[in-house]
Amino acid sequence: MRRVAITGIGAICAIGHDSRQVWAAARDGVCGIRPIAAIPTARLSARLAAEVIGFDPAVHFDRRRLPMLDRAAQLALVAAREAMAMAALPAFAPHRAGAVLGAAIGQQTFDDAYRAFYGEGASRVPPLTVPRAMPSAAVSAISMEFGLRGPTFATASACASSAHAIGQAFHMVRSGMLDVALAGGGDASVVVGVFKGWEALRVLSADACRPFSRDRTGLVIGEGAAILVLEPLAAARARGAPVLAELVGFGMSADAADLTAPDEAGAAFAIAAALADGGLDASEIGYVNAHGTGTRLNDRTEAAALRRVFGAHPPPASSSKSMMGHCMSACGALEMVVTVQALRHGVLPPTIGFREADPECDLDCVPNVARVAPAQAALSNSFAFGGLNAVLALRSAAA
| Residue numbers annotated as active site | 159, 291, 326
* CA 49 from centroid of its chain's CA atoms: 16
SS (H, E, C) 103-119: CCCCHHHHHHHHHHHHH
The answer to whether 148 and 94 are in contact (CB under 8 A) is yes
Q: 156 CB contacts (<8 Å, ≥6 apart)?
A: 102, 103, 135
Query: Measured between alpha carbons, how far is 208 from 227 in angstroms, rounded to an integer?
Result: 27
Q: How many CB atoms lie within 10 A of CB 202?
A: 10
Query: Measured between alpha carbons, how far is 107 from 109 in angstroms, rounded to an integer?
Result: 5
Handedness of CA 393, 397, 398, 399 (dihedral sign): positive
Query: Measured between alpha carbons, how far is 306 from 262 in angstroms, rounded to an integer?
Result: 13
- Strands, E, within the chain: which ranges? 4-13, 34-35, 48-49, 97-102, 152-155, 180-188, 223-232, 245-254, 285-289, 317-318, 347-348, 371-372, 377-384, 388-396
The answer to whether 346 and 374 are in contact (CB under 8 A) is yes
Amino acid at 296: R
CA atoms within 13 A on the CB side of 206: 6
Query: Measured between alpha carbons, how far is 176 from 361 in angstroms, rounded to an integer?
Result: 41
